[in-house]
């Protein structure tokens, strides 16, 4: 059984009867058992997955209507609610939390007969970019297990890269889908803000975060987007995509398209190997008929500070609910005064979450709001104006997804400020609401490099077409697991 096939290949193989869903899911679960002790992508597994696969096989055999996923094994980041299953956010605070409802993306995938093989690891409450801040221990990069897989959707990227599923859903607040996709050599897609419902995604920074797919191919990302995008009455920030078909015409190519190379994302601090791969990708796009020119977005240098000022403020508010009364671990209320009780409950939050909650109290507080929060909002506005201006001239923008190569586990964990700067190329798409994708492009000394393309809002289809064109120029080695 070949577990290395793409999502679309999987559906074709099941449709033609070449493989049974039960066999594929059974082998997938065996493979997870075999490799995940080392990789630690999963926080929990679906013990019922093989039974669900058997039911789908029966539906296929009896000619019943079957959803477009045909029993495809998908992993789900553990901050997205699946009814009656644990949703921990990789936090001790939600260690025993059972979601009472399905996120909209889960409802949609269930309707299409997807099988959720398990919930995958993340930095606690999605706050981090290496998965080292999970309360249940870090995930490891399948390309080299001494290295981080990126984050915060590290478990999603590892599970796709290591063939533990064919696709995964993550969430992207400042690059949390694209960063691990780049570090693990998978495709990672952050849609236009509002294209995918956030209902049932446990909130970190509502104004900029989005759910997004991690897949083996760009076509698979388009396929997943077809299944989960669109208006949702439970999330009033969703936008109408008129049932766009993102797979249709995906091989249209990029001839004649204008691509801006973001100057501030290939400058100071960039790893020379990453820079070289980026230049190579630009040459390939030019060979395909694109016209590439440098463009300056000078607000990019303030984007990381603005991003953290805004997200910590929203996180401070969102995490206030974890007080052990509405959510949280169980200990008796007897014998405690109110404040002492909540302080004790919040000790279950890890150091990064605690740090960001305190920052989130500081930034909007009296005497500091004008200095930090309002300025951050102004940077966000100016950056949005600058990128909108750039899109009057260019169809797409390009940069490396992450300016450095994956780093060793533990190498940067004690220096949050230097960790935050790794987000420099990804936060712009979040702050401005633009769609962005990371495409696996190169392997250097056994470590992956991803290239990021960004498009204007609602130009997700064009973005996927360009990503597909770039993807077709690349032949990468297989992950050494």
Partner 1 sequence: MVSREEIEHVAKLMRIEIDDPTIYEGVDKMIGYFDILDSAGVESEEISAREIELSNLREDKHIPFGEKLIEKLNHYKGTYVRAPKMV
CB nearer to partner 1: pick between 347 and 392: 347
CB of 307 to partner 1, least distance (A): 11
Do 204 and 127 contact (CB within 8 A), yes or no?
yes
What six digits make up the tokens of 228? Answer: 């989960």
Rounded Cα distance between 462 and 250, Å, is 8
Binding mask 143-162 for partner 1 (x = CB under 8 A): --------------------
Residue 464, CA distances (Å) to 152, 192, 307 in order: 23, 12, 26
| Residue 432 C-beta: closest distance to partner 1, Å | 10
* Count of residues interacting with partner 1 (CB under 8 A): 61
Binding test (CB under 8 A) with partner 1, winner from 1, 51, 146, 340: 340
Peptide bond into 466 cis (omega under 30): no
Contact segment (CB under 8 A) with partner 1 among 45-53, 115-123, 316-324, 453-461 equals 316-324
Name 212's Cβ contacts closer than 8 Å, sequence gap at least 6: 169, 170, 171, 172, 177, 188, 189, 190, 191, 196
Q: What is the rounded CA–CA span in Å between residue 302 and residue 375?
A: 10
49 Rama class: left (phi>0) / alpha (psi -120 to 50) / beta? alpha
Nearest partner of 43 among 80, 6, 3, judged by Cα: 80
Is 242 a residue that touches partner 1 (CB under 8 A)?
A: no
Q: How far is the CB of 379 from partner 1 (least distance, A)?
A: 5
Is the separation of the CB atoms in 213 and 207 below 8 Å? no
Give the x-and-dash track for 346-385 against partner 1 (CB under 8 A): xx---x--xx-xxxxxxx-x-----xx-xxxxxx-xx-x-
Beta carbons within 10 angstroms of residue 158's beta carbon = 36
Return the residue matching tokens 């398990």: 118
- The minimum distance between CB 19 and partner 1, in angstroms, equals 38
Task: Tell me if residue 176 is catalytic.
Answer: yes
Helix (H, G, I), strand (E, B) or coil at 396: strand
Q: According to CB under 8 A, which one of 323, 369, 446, 474 is a site residue for partner 1?
A: 323
Provide CB contacts within 8 A for 264, sequence distance 6+.
296, 297, 298, 300, 301
Task: Compose the 184-223 pattern: x for residues touching partner 1 by CB under 8 A, - for all others.
Answer: -----------------------x----------------
Q: Between residue 387 and residue 426, which ones bind partner 1 under the rule CB under 8 A? A: 414, 416-417, 420
236 lines the binding site for partner 1 (CB under 8 A) = yes
Q: Does 343 bind partner 1 (CB under 8 A)?
A: yes
Q: Per CB under 8 A, does 48 bind partner 1?
A: no
Q: Residues 6, 20, 130, 152: which is the catalytic one?
A: 152
Pick the piece of the chain touching partner 1 (CB under 8 A) from 30-38, 45-53, 178-186, 300-308. 300-308
Closer of 28 and 457 to partner 1 (Cβ): 457
Which position among 70, 143, 308, 391 is part of the footprint of partner 1 (CB under 8 A)? Answer: 308
Residues 405, 411, 412: CA angle, nearest 5 degrees: 85
CB atoms inside a 10 Å sphere around CB 339: 8
CB-nearer residue toward partner 1: 126 or 166: 126
Of 94 and 405, the one with the shorter C-beta distance to partner 1 is 94
Residue 318 is encoded by which pair of tokens?
A: 């969102």
In the bound state with partner 1, the residue whose beta carbon lies nearer, of 175 and 328, is: 328
Q: Residue 234 CB, nearest distance to partner 1 (Å)?
A: 7
Nearest approach, Cβ of residue 414 and partner 1 (Å): 7
Please report whether residue 86 would count as binding partner 1 according to CB under 8 A: no
Task: Give whichever of 133 and 441 is closer to partner 1, judged by the CB atom.
Answer: 133
Q: Is 152 a catalytic residue?
A: yes
3-state secondary structure of 419: helix
Of the candidates 77, 71, 70, 75, the one whose C-alpha atom is nearest the C-alpha of residue 25 is 71
Q: Which is nearer to partner 1, 38 or 296 (CB)?
A: 296
> Which lies closer to partner 1 via its Cβ, residue 336 or residue 446?
336
| Under rule CB under 8 A, residue 321 binds partner 1 | no
Cα distance between residue 378 and residue 376, in whole Å: 5
Residue 455: half-sphere exposure toward Cβ, Cα within 13 Å: 22
Q: What is the C-alpha to C-alpha distance for residues 444 and 330, in angstroms, rounded to an integer?
A: 47
Residues binding partner 1 (CB under 8 A) = 98, 100, 207, 233-234, 236-237, 299, 301-302, 305-306, 308-309, 316, 320, 323-326, 328, 330, 332-333, 336-344, 346-347, 351, 354-355, 357-363, 365, 371-372, 374-379, 381-382, 384, 414, 416-417, 420
User: Catalytic residue numbers?
Assistant: 77, 152, 176
């Amino acid at each position: 059984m070949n577990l290395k096939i793409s999502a679309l290949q999987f559906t074709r193989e099941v449709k033609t009867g070449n493989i049974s869903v039960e066999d594929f899911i059974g082998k997938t679960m065996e493979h997870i058992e075999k490799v995940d002790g080392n990789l630690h992508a999963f926080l929990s597994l679906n013990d019922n997955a093989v039974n669900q696969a058997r039911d789908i096989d029966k539906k296929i055999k009896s000619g019943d209507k079957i959803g477009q996923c045909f029993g495809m094994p998908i992993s789900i980041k553990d901050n997205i609610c699946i009814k009656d299953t644990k949703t921990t956010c990789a936090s001790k605070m939600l260690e025993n939390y059972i979601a009472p409802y399905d996120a909209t993306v889960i409802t949609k995938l269930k309707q299409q007969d997807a099988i959720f093989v398990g919930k995958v690891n993340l930095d606690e409450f999605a706050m981090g970019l290496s998965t080292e801040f999970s309360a249940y221990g870090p995930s490891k990069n399948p390309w080299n297990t001494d290295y981080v897989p990126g984050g915060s959707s590290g478990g999603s990227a590892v599970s796709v890269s290591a063939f533990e599923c064919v696709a995964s859903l993550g969430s992207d607040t400042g690059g949390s889908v694209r960063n691990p996709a780049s570090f693990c050599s998978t495709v990672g897609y952050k849609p236009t803000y509002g294209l995918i419902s956030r209902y049932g995604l446990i909130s970190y920074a509502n104004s900029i975060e989005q759910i997004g797919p991690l897949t083996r191919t760009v076509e698979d990302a388009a396929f997943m987007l077809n299944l989960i995008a669109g208006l949702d009455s439970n999330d009033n920030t969703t936008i109408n995509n008129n049932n766009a078909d993102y797979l249709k015409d995906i091989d249209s190519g990029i001839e004649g398209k204008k691509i801006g190379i973001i100057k501030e994302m290939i400058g100071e601090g960039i790893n020379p190997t990453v820079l070289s791969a980026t230049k190579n990708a630009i040459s390939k796009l030019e060979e395909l008929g694109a016209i590439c020119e440098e463009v300056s977005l000078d607000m990019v240098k303030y984007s990381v500070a603005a991003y953290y000022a805004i997200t910590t403020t929203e996180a401070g508010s969102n995490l206030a609910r974890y007080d052990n009364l509405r959510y949280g671990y169980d200990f008796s209320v007897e014998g405690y005064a109110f404040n002492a009780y909540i302080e004790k409950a919040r000790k279950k939050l890890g150091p990064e979450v605690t740090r960001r909650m305190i920052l989130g109290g500081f930034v909007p507080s009296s005497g500091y709001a004008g200095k930090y929060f309002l300025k951050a909002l102004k940077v966000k506005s100016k950056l949005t104006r600058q990128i909108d201006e750039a899109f009057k001239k260019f169809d797409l923008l390009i940069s490396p997804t992450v300016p450095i190569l994956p780093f060793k586990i533990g190498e940067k964990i004690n220096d949050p400020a230097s960790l935050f700067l790794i987000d420099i190329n990804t936060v712009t798409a979040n702050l401005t609401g633009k769609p962005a994708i990371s495409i696996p492009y190169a392997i250097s000394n056994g470590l992956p490099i991803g290239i990021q393309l960004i498009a204007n809002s609602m130009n997700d289809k064009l973005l996927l077409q360009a990503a597909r064109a770039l993807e077709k120029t690349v032949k990468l080695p297989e992950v050494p697991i």
